[in-house]
Amino acid sequence: EAQVTQNPRYLITVTGKKLTVTCSQNMNHEYMSWYRQDPGLGLRQIYYSMNVEVTDKGDVPEGYKVSRKEKRNFPLILESPSPNQTSLYFCASSLFSIRALNSPLHFGNGTRLTVT
């Protein structure tokens, strides 16, 4: 089954304790992206990657890191989490080519992070 898999689904941590949220897709998609979803603010893009070793900042990148060493994986790293990073996080992937401009985003089922 074609899917985007995020782990963990739920995570509670304390301020300053480094954490990683994993994302993996099995659709051979070049493009991957991380979003956070907050009430009243909708989905906001954190980072995106157009292919292996190519990453770029989205709208709200502060406090986050990403890496793209393999095509299928795109982990999100919080080096020193703070309470304002408490949110619902989504990973998404898509085809990326000039012929696939209208290729839709496929989303994972989310990771709910609480930082105390």
- Binding residues for another protein, per CB under 8 A? 4, 31, 33, 39-45, 48, 90, 92, 94, 96, 101-105, 107-110
My answer on whether omega of the bond before 8 falls inside 30° of 0, hence cis, is: yes
State the minimum distance, in angstroms, from the CB of residue 104 to another protein: 4
Q: What b/e string do you get for 87-104 counting C-beta neighbours within 10 Å, with b at 16 or more?
A: bebbbbbbbbeeeeeeee
State the minimum distance, in angstroms, from the CB of residue 28 to another protein: 16
Residue with smaller CB distance to another protein, 104 or 116: 104
- Structure-token pair, residue 46: 């954190």
Residue with smaller CB distance to another protein, 17 or 90: 90
Residue with smaller CB distance to another protein, 8 or 16: 8
Q: For residue 98, report the phi and psi dihedrals to the nearest 5 degrees.
A: -65, -25
Residue with smaller CB distance to another protein, 31 or 64: 31
Q: Strands 31-38 and 42-51: what pairing? A: antiparallel
State the minimum distance, in angstroms, from the CB of residue 15 to another protein: 26
